[in-house]
Amino acid sequence: MELRLETPCDSSPCENDSKCIVNGSGYICTCITECNGNDYTDYKCDADNYVNQTCFLDQDVWCDDTDWIRWQDKTPSSFTGPSSAAEGSFYFYVTSSGIPNSSKARFVSKPLQTDNYTCLSFNYHMYGSTMGSLLVYQDNKQDWMKSKNQGNKWHFQQISILPYISRITFEALTGYGSESDIAIDNITITAGFC
């Protein structure tokens, strides 16, 4: 009799030639090379469906000072933050209200499995006179940073992710006053160079 351990990938849940990789008690689908369709379904993070655990980003609970907040409509502070989401109804934001200046909130990706360039796309909103910084890391290396007031609007950003990078981190660094709400929304990773 063959003894066989069952894994979440045994039911072949991944479509369009994407590869199933066991991740804890669940799985992630990854598109290694040029497959079609919704291969990167699990490399999507929108605050609208975060409760369904389809987000590839997790709150850092060890190495930072505060958390990203899932929110809709205006943020509670005046003269900072978006008034609505970039896509859908919900977005994530970090507030400086009630916490020390220069506090960090990190969103860390689940392990990525890529052997080629991929493209990270996201919307960010950084409105406020005491705005801090938003940084993106590829593994432990800082790759992108935006600081200061970027106006009361959503911006679109794309960053090419190097092959074999296993971890993407978004880090918000709050400013020196209450007008430094930093928001992100609609985060995806797709195949190919940006």
Chain positions contacting Ca ion, by CB under 5 A: 46-48, 59-60, 64, 67, 85, 87-88, 90, 185
Cα separation, 10 vs 5, in Å, equals 9
Give least dist CB 65 to Ca ion, A.
7
Give least dist CB 78 to Ca ion, A.
22
Cα separation, 151 vs 88, in Å, equals 21
- Do residues 118 and 190 make contact, with C-beta atoms less than 8 angstroms apart? yes
Residue in 168, 148, 146, 143 with CA at minimum distance from that of residue 60:
168
Tokens, residue 189: 């990773």
Q: Output 39 or 60, the one with its CB closest to Ca ion.
A: 60
**Residue with the closest Cβ to Ca ion?**
88
Give least dist CB 90 to Ca ion, A.
5
Give least dist CB 51 to Ca ion, A.
12
Q: Output 46 or 181, the one with its CB closest to Ca ion.
A: 46
| Residues 53, 55, 59, 63, CA torsion sign | positive
Q: Output 27 or 137, the one with its CB closest to Ca ion.
A: 137
Give least dist CB 104 to Ca ion, A.
8
Q: Output 21 or 168, the one with its CB closest to Ca ion.
A: 168
Q: Output 27 or 56, the one with its CB closest to Ca ion.
A: 56
Q: Please state, in angstroms and as integers, the Cα–Cα distance from residue 14 to each residue in 28, 40, 43, 45, following that order.
A: 8, 10, 13, 18
